[in-house]
Structure 1
Amino acid sequence: MSVLMISGTNTEIGKTVTTAAIAAVALAAGRSVAVLKPAQTGVGMGEPGDVAEVTRLAGPVTGRELARFPEPLAPATAARRAGMTPVRPKEVAAAAEELAAEHDLVLVEGAGGLLVRLDGEGGTLADAAALLDAPVLVVAQPNLGTLNITQLTAEALTARGVRCAGVVIGSWPTQPDLAMRCNVAEFPEMAGAPLLGAVPRHAGSLPPATFRTEAAGWLSPELGGSWNAAEFGAALG
């Protein structure tokens, strides 16, 4: 896959760190990587955003933002309140295609959940994925309640004719509770797609060199890593 869209079941669940892990593994394999952030919100001009964090953790990727809005809100709302032009799905698709022409892998990181609005017409990351015919990787939280929102996200993708590439648990704790351990076995059925990894909760605080060395162990072979869902589940008991 030359373009992979990365969305989440919510905000602050590990999308950026997951994006960085995928980028790190691809870079280690000698692939050229671009990271596209359609709309960065809640970050002022000149401050480091999600693309900068991916670059810090993963290494030399080509980073691109299409728009930046100062308030930490959904992109459409943030753009309207700032009196700025919003980003539309066709612009996201065009930028991803441009980057894909020059890179082996393009990672498009959304804002919040799949159906967070980009513009006043209701455009979403899912619409951009449909225009690109690109799969969407769903980053999910591990805790109680995640299965419902994961299934809803997967059904929204199916309704739009967009393939769910799989699910990655974006913030796996060192001591998972019973619900988390049980959810691991349920994710594939709820998403109708495989579980493709589990990124440790504090991975983003690792030194970059350590992050790059360990990233392959958090992701399945489909994402370039060595993580095995069956072994992970069996170890949970």
Structure 2
Amino acid sequence: MLYDSRVRHVRTARQRYALDHRTYYWLVDLDALPVLPRPLRPLAGFRGRDHFDGAGPTIRAGLDRFLAGQGAAPARGRVLMLAQARVFGYVFNPLSVYWCHDEDGALRQVVAEVHNTYGGRHAYLLGPEAARDAAADKAFYVSPFLPVAGRYRMRLPTPGERLDLTVHLDLDAARAFTATVKGVGRPCTLPALAAAALRHPLAPLAATLAIRFHGIRLYLRGLPVVPRNRHQPQEGMK
């Protein structure tokens, strides 16, 4: 499934600022990743090295290693991943989400994997309640203008016809940041992929450039930079 999506960030800590970004996301089964005709393969690649510790032969292997490192049971059924694909050799996923099911189809775990523009990764094991509402302490440096502090509240329901994800960050007993990802799904046909790629060329690179552009604007507005701390890799992560 492909989702033509709108990503919106609203920060309210220290200085109010909002941004909108249009892109598209893939929803894929980790055991049945799409294989495109050879001429179109540069438009969508899914590689184990792009997620979790990057050492597994597949994304599913990386997920299983992460779950084991967190003391969680492996995903024994279907795993759906929402992410951007590698496009012309480049990939960047500010947020990837995994919905892990048992053999009976019941949702057992939700994992939110966050990447920053400095090459780091961190995953949050949220449990099935994340489909409605889940909380996790912030443990990873993402924005240079927000400290590694506070608490996330996430609502990450499994996408259907529509995609509707929300992440809040509460800091010092106040809402500091909200990110939403909303989209409309369509079957991943070759014409649909070609249309998405034409509307959003080099989508992962565009996301990286947008983050850097808005970061520069905030810096020029005088927002103080929070020094980046050394991130301790998780078990099963870089």
- TM-score where L is the length of structure 2: 0.30
Higher-Rg structure is 2
Q: Between Structure 1 and Structure 2, which shows a larger proportion of strand residues?
A: 2
Q: Between Structure 1 and Structure 2, which shows a larger proportion of helix residues?
A: 1
- TM-score where L is the length of structure 1: 0.30
